[in-house]
Amino acid sequence: MKCPICGRLSRGLCDACQQKEDSAGTPGKRKDKKGGKKQSRKPVESLAEAMQQASAGAGTPEDQAAGTAAAMRQPRIRQCTRCGTCFRGAHKVKSPGPSPVRFVCPTCSRQTGQYFEAILQLRGDWEDAANEARTQVHVAKQVMPRGGGVDLYTDDTSKTRAVAKRLAKKFGGNVVETAKLHTQDHL
């Protein structure tokens, strides 16, 4: 669909025209491009009439379908505003490209919401194991001493599993895995 005022591709009014509409002050009136007198816009009677006005400058339906299909074939590159990681669809990519869309990636979203994928709980004589785990689990976001041990909150389940197995081999002990969902740790 094209903007009914300037003809750019957008859904309804484009951002520039929307800002002009908002800054005009009075609803239903807009300034001329040359800054001249304001023109009145007729109120729309029905939804069909509004759709017809919006699609008046949109070209043929084939042009609209081709533009939509091209946009669907190549997903936009999204860049996380916190960590800078770039994604195309669900896959990580190296470079942001020409103009990446800003968003918050799932990992950063979990961190800001205090949600952790895995908790590595060390009990017993845990001090040496905890120091070793802190160096191996570089994704440990929070370390909390708990009754008789320590809990390391991490963002990556697979790395946490690997570290738990390495610690069990090195220091002895049991590895117990549970699938209980923790959404937030209330202290």
Instruction: Determine the 3-state secondary structure of 79 from DSSP.
Output: strand
pLDDT score recorded for residue 40: 54
Which of the pair, 111 or 177, is modelled with greater confidence? 177
CA distance 118 to 89: 25
The answer to whether the pTM exceeds 0.75 is: no
> What are the backbone angles phi and psi of residue 6, rounded to the nearest 5°?
-105, -20
Q: How far is CA 91 from the centre of its chain?
A: 13
Instruction: Determine the 3-state secondary structure of 175 from DSSP.
Output: coil
Contacts of 48 (CB under 8 A, 6+ apart): none
Instruction: Determine the 3-state secondary structure of 65 from DSSP.
Output: helix
pLDDT score recorded for residue 49: 67
Lowest average pLDDT, out of 61-70, 105-114, 149-158, goes to: 61-70
Contacts of 69 (CB under 8 A, 6+ apart): none
Q: How many residues does the chain have?
A: 187
Which of the pair, 28 or 75, is modelled with greater confidence? 75
For residues 181 and 157, the answer to whether their CB atoms sit within 8 Å is no
